[in-house]
Amino acid sequence: MRGTVLVTGASAGFGMAIAEVLVQEGYQVVAAARRMNKLESLSSKHPEKIFPLEMDMTKSELFLRQLGSLPAKFQNIDVLVNNAGLALGVEPIPNIDLKDWDRMVQTNIIGLIHLTQLVISGMLKRKRGHIISLGSIAGTYPYRGGNVYGATKAFVKQFMLNLKTDLVGTALKVTNIEPGLCGGTEFSEVRLKDSAKGKEVYKGTIPLTAMDIAETVRWILSLPSHVNVNRIELMPVCQAPGGVAVVKTGN
């Protein structure tokens, strides 16, 4: 499939890498994010292939108007990559800032499902399309401080599986990509609100990179029309699923 791809969170990290890789594959890309200066810098490299679209995932009431403002050649979205998302804080539940919880839910869940619902109607009319969401292993494996972030990614995983079930019998594809430890992005710096602490997360590891995720998206889109990847979980070699925690009295 070649056509138009809408990538959210395209101003950095996974989103920017995905946009650049897909342009190389012959797609045209609507690169959406809040930071227009970064989007314009990206689109200047591929002025005919990348259209910058200012979009804040916490303001889903604006999505319909924003999509309607796209130039005619970018109007028909063939692939939606729900990449925009964030984690805020690693504090235990009693100490969390509720504003951080609200922002994660608005971005990772509400914005994602609203945008998906808007885009999917056109895909059904055209009888082609692919919805790809960036989940996380945090949606499967709990860890200390993962609380609401992990819950949002568990929601995304189940939403995507249910979406695939709703669309069975159509030509549309649905895929959830669930990465583990990934470096070279703003993720941990934003989460910890500290650049130095964010970099410390990856010290002594060889994590996944944004390009690894972009290449995964490229591969998924290259598969024959009868093949659907429901879920794909990726971890660096240095990472493994954690065990169940046990606290023994007297220790």
Provide the annotated active-site residues: 149
> Which two structure tokens, joined as six digits, stand for 104?
């994660």
- Phi-psi label, residue 31: left if phi above 0, alpha if psi -120 to 50, beta otherwise: beta
Are residues 132 and 164 in contact, defined by beta-carbon separation less than 8 angstroms?
no
- Cα separation, 140 vs 112, in Å, equals 19
- Per-residue DSSP letters for 7-39? EESTTSHHHHHHHHHHHHTT-EEEEEES-HHHH
Taking alpha carbons only, the member of 65, 167, 80 closest to residue 124 is 167
> Where would I find the H helices in 75-172?
98-105, 112-126, 147-167
Count of CB atoms within 10 A of residue 65's CB? Answer: 8
Strand 50-54 to 79-82 pairing: unpaired
- Cα separation, 72 vs 198, in Å, equals 41
